[in-house]
Amino acid sequence: MPYDPSTAEARWQKAWADAGSFTAVRDARPKYYVLEMFPYPSGRIHMGHVRNYTMGDVVARFKRAQGFSVLHPMGWDAFGMPAENAAMEQGGHPRDWTYGNIATMREQLKPLGLSIDWSREFATCDDDYVAQQQALFLDFLDAGLITRKSAQVNWDPVDMTVLANEQVIDGKGWRSGAAVERKELTQWFFRISDYSDELLSALDGLSGWPDKVRLMQANWIGKSRGLQLRFETVFAPEDFAEIEVYTTRPDTLMGASFLALSPDHPLVRALSAADPGVAAFVEECRRVGTTEEAIETAPKLGLDTGFKVRHPLDADLHLPIWIANFVLMDYGTGAIFGSPAHDERDHEFATKYGLPIRATFGEAGMTREQADALAAKGPYVPMKSETVTYVRGFAGEADQTGESAVDAAIAHAEAHGYGKGVTRFRLRDWGISRQRYWGCPIPVVHCDACGTVPEAKANLPVLLPKDVSFDQPGNPLDRHPSWRRTSCPTCGAAALRETDTMDTFVDSSWYYARFTSPHADTPTNRADADYWMNVDQYIGGIEHAILHLLYSRFFARAMVKTGHLPDSAKEPFDALFTQGMVTHEIYLTRDQRGRPVYHLPEDVTDGGLADGTPVEVIPSAKMSKSKKNVVDPVNIVASFGADTARWFMLSDSPPERDVEWTAAGAEAAHKFLSRVFRLAEEAPTDGGDDPDLTRSAHRAIAEVTKSIEGFAFNKAVARIYELANAIGKSKAGGVARRAVLRIMAQLMAPMVPHLAEDVWAMAGGEGMIVDAGWPRADPAMLVDDTVILPIQINGKRRAEISVARDMPKDQIEALVMADETVQRFLEGAAPKKLIVVPGRIVNVVA
């Protein structure tokens, strides 16, 4: 009987489903919650999914075997733009497109044999999930976690829609190609910035997270210490006696040569009302998106207002007030002082507009003239920790680090009353309003009499209308003839619904909590949430290291505050693992003009095309349709079986690194699994016990256990290869051999669960292996009773001997003396010295 995964895998999957093997239940066992980041239903699963879900499955099956009650759910991150784009491009409805894709992908996932509790499956676009998310929104609103304010957005004037920063490419809308503008809109915000400090400091406690992810989060939250200081105006419009400025480099104050205001600064607003020139300039500034990158790379634009401020440390020095396009209103105070000598942007600005460039400090040892000359060439921006020579330090001229100079500057400003030290965060409130159809409606109503009022809980869910069209730009909810019209939940008068929907990051910020009680008629059921939370192991891609995880951490806190999660769930993910990508070689030839022509892997054999043309190979490339280096997991599973795909994914590289998919590797994996199958099938010999084999098996138990616990799946695989070799060589008789085969099957079960069931059955295992538990290593079997001792002769390692661990010294000495190499060196003489360090080394001086 050959190894035939095509029938066996389906058979085992049915057996597990019939037995309800993976239904998560609350019981007396300790619980374990393993979660992989849920997929977006794009239409097909890809190799990255296979790798991600296989890793999660190894953990889930391993923990289950170890006696945990395991929760391992699956769902769909189902709202978002691609569904609407598909509707615009191909017609049809986003809902049909999405649920169609989910059905397809579920059918592609199921053959992988993942140990998922499918009874908990949901999609974030399900009416029920929408209802619970809206209930959460209302609770958050009640708890002061949500606010409504005006903010600038990227506006696509052709598609008439707000764009996320990622959708602005080189200042243009990613679909329309139109130049993106800035626009002010009233929007809904989650008040995540209230939690900046806590989200930052709590990172220290996340010992189960990769350091790089914690660092990325810390940088994103961006805590900085600076000075908020006041400049008195000498000549300015009424009501503007002072201008407040925020700086993180107060030590450069003596080099300040201008003030710059954001185009949205109140002073600028006042000016533009009266001065068409200013108004036109402000308009011009708006024609750049809101991305940091767009603002950073746009040419610096400025307009001198003609007004001036007094320098706080030099009353005779008057600095001009400019309006500058690179100053943001929603950071700091929306006003800066420019120190061109030590800031990239200020330097560009000063050079363009002929403003003075005065150095505050130079390289260590420089004079003021030298420092000025250095700054004239370009901004001098050393690390704050570096010692530099201050040439215009307001605390005099001195060698100092930037850090200590900043501290001194803050102290000076506080002592003299012109400013105060402040801590700021880069993290802004999370704007969640999207002018899109395919998202969760924001459950609020606009009433002429009452203003903006939350929808009553009894009226939830507010569901999307089904009869919408995508043939015009803009939000279909705005155009819908009747959907908006409703009555005010407070006064009953006619009112209009909010037509904004929620950012899809909201959906993925609490799905892990919903999995604990996916059918509850409240966002969570506390008994379930208390039992299952936290996620013990979360697994996903590094691309979600910042926003998704930060939003989830905020949401968990908000759900604790609103009573939907226990206090202990503030940090919802105890451990996080970020896996590498699945890559594949790219094959290409060149056309006459040297441009690349890509070829499918199946068209390339032995480094060339069918006609013999050699191909260029780019190794380890991200899979991409345009480069034709995509491998479809559906084909792999169809030709080799799921276990081969799973085994290969785990075997070749450490999980955190990229793995390169190769046809040869897949074949080798398949060959190995076939060999394991044959080993189990072979008729038992009539040999007796083989203690060495038994010992190998127990060592494999210990090491595979350790490797899986440490996410070193490739090491676990390597141990299993060794064990299979040992079984192949052993002369052990039926009973002993089968016992070891059963151990191997147990060790392989998390990785290749179907084959493991077959081997288990053939080797006389009772019931299904999925219920067999995890084998325990017998400690007595782990002690190695022999050791290898290296022999050094005259200080050089020349030979080694294998001795019993507890062999007495004199016996070892006798063995050493009898060793051939030692005899050769001694040439018949007695050694001058012979030192045995038991268990370590033997030294011979000839």
Contact residues for ligand ANZ (CB under 6 A)? Answer: 224, 246-249, 252, 262, 326-328, 331-332, 334, 336-337, 339, 342-343
Using rule CB under 5 A, residue 176 touches Zn ion = no
Encoded one letter per residue, x for contact with Zn ion by CB under 5 A and - for no contact, window 680-709 reads ------------------------------
Return the closest-CA partner of residue 742 out of 757, 731, 753, 729. Answer: 757
Name the binder of 16 from ligand ANZ, Zn ion, none, CB < 5-8 A by kind: none
Query: Residue 37 — φ and ψ, nearest 5°?
Result: -55, 130
**Closest CB to ligand ANZ among residues 35, 359:** 359
Q: Using CB under 5 A, which residues numbered 462 to 501 contact Zn ion?
A: 488, 490-491
Q: What are phi and psi of 110, to 5 degrees?
A: -60, -40
- In angstroms, rounded to a whole number, what is the distance separating the alpha carbons of residues 419 and 422? 9
98-130: burial string, b at 16+ Cβ within 10 Å, e else: bbebbebbeebbebbbbbbbeebbbbbbbeebb
Q: Does 143 bind Zn ion (CB under 5 A)?
A: no
CB 59 within 8 A of CB 537: yes
Find which of Zn ion, ligand ANZ, none residue 582 binds, CB within 5 to 8 Å per kind.
none
H helix intervals, 439-577: 476-479, 504-507, 511-514, 526-532, 547-561
Q: Helix (H, G, I), strand (E, B), or coil: what is residue 369? A: helix
Task: Closer to Zn ion by CB, 164 or 496: give it.
Answer: 496
Minimum separation from the CB atom of position 643 to ligand ANZ (A):
51
Q: Which is nearer to Zn ion, 491 or 782 (CB)?
A: 491
- Choose the one of ligand ANZ, Zn ion, none that binds residue 490, judging by a C-beta under 5 to 8 angstroms depending on kind: Zn ion
DSSP state of 573: B
Q: Which does 488 bind (CB under 5 to 8 A by kind): Zn ion, ligand ANZ, none?
A: Zn ion
Distance in Å, CB of 235 to ligand ANZ, minimum: 22
User: For ligand ANZ, which is the closer residue by CB, 64 or 265?
Assistant: 265
CB of 336 to ligand ANZ, least distance (A): 4
Q: Which helix (H) or strand (E) holds 375?
A: helix 368-377
Cβ closest to ligand ANZ, residue 199 vs residue 756: 199
Q: Is 447 in the site for Zn ion (CB under 5 A)?
A: yes
Partner touching 447 among ligand ANZ, Zn ion, none, CB below 5 to 8 Å by kind: Zn ion
Task: Provide, rounded to whole angstroms, the least separation between the CB of residue 144 and Zn ion.
Answer: 22
What secondary structure does DSSP assign to 623-681, as a single string? Answer: P-GGGT----HHHHHHHH-HHHHHHHHHHSS-TTS-EE--HHHHHHHHHHHHHHHHHHH
| DSSP-assigned states of every residue in 531-553 | HHPSBSEEEEEGGGTTHHHHHHH
Q: How many CA atoms lie within 13 A of 452 on its CB side?
A: 14
Q: Does 450 bind Zn ion (CB under 5 A)?
A: yes
Please say whether the beta carbons of 405 and 383 come within 8 A: no
Minimum gap (Å) between residue 330 Cβ and ligand ANZ: 7
Q: Is 440 helix (H, G, I), strand (E, B) or coil?
A: coil
Q: Which of 337, 510 has the CB closer to ligand ANZ?
A: 337
- Cβ closest to Zn ion, residue 488 vs residue 565: 488
What is the helix, strand, coil percentage profile of the chain, to 5?
Answer: 40, 25, 35
Strand, helix or coil at 833? strand
Which of the choices Zn ion, ligand ANZ, none does residue 491 contact, using the CB cut-off of 5 to 8 A by kind?
A: Zn ion
Whichever of 490 and 714 has its CB closer to Zn ion, that residue is 490
Judged by beta carbon distances under 5 to 8 A according to partner kind, the member of ligand ANZ, Zn ion, none in contact with residue 522 is none
Q: Which is nearer to Zn ion, 445 or 679 (CB)?
A: 445
247 binds, among Zn ion, ligand ANZ, none (CB under 5 to 8 A by kind): ligand ANZ
Task: Taking each helix axis as running N to C, give the angle between helix 81-90 and helix 94-109, from 0 to 180 degrees, rounded to the nearest 10.
Answer: 110
HSE (side-chain half, CA atoms, 13 Å) at 88: 17
Q: How far is the CB of 327 from ligand ANZ (least distance, A)?
A: 4
Q: Which does 655 bind (CB under 5 to 8 A by kind): ligand ANZ, Zn ion, none?
A: none
Q: Name the minimum Å distance from CB 284 to ligand ANZ.
A: 17
CB of 328 or CB of 621, closer to ligand ANZ = 328
Q: Please identify, using beta-carbon distances, which residue of 68 and 353 lies nearer to ligand ANZ.
A: 353
Indicate which of ligand ANZ, Zn ion, none lies near residue 251 (CB less than 5 to 8 Å, by partner kind): none
* Nearest distance, CB of residue 328 and Zn ion, angstroms: 36
From Zn ion, ligand ANZ, none, interface partner of 327 (C-beta below 5 to 8 A by class): ligand ANZ
DSSP, collapsed to helix, strand or coil, labels residue 451 as strand
Dig out the tokens for 69 from the structure.
């009650």
Strands, sheet with 398-401, edge to edge from the N-terminal-most edge strand: 361-362, 387-390, 398-401
Smallest separation, CB 754 to ligand ANZ (Å): 54
Footprint of Zn ion on this chain (CB under 5 A)?
447, 449-450, 488, 490-491
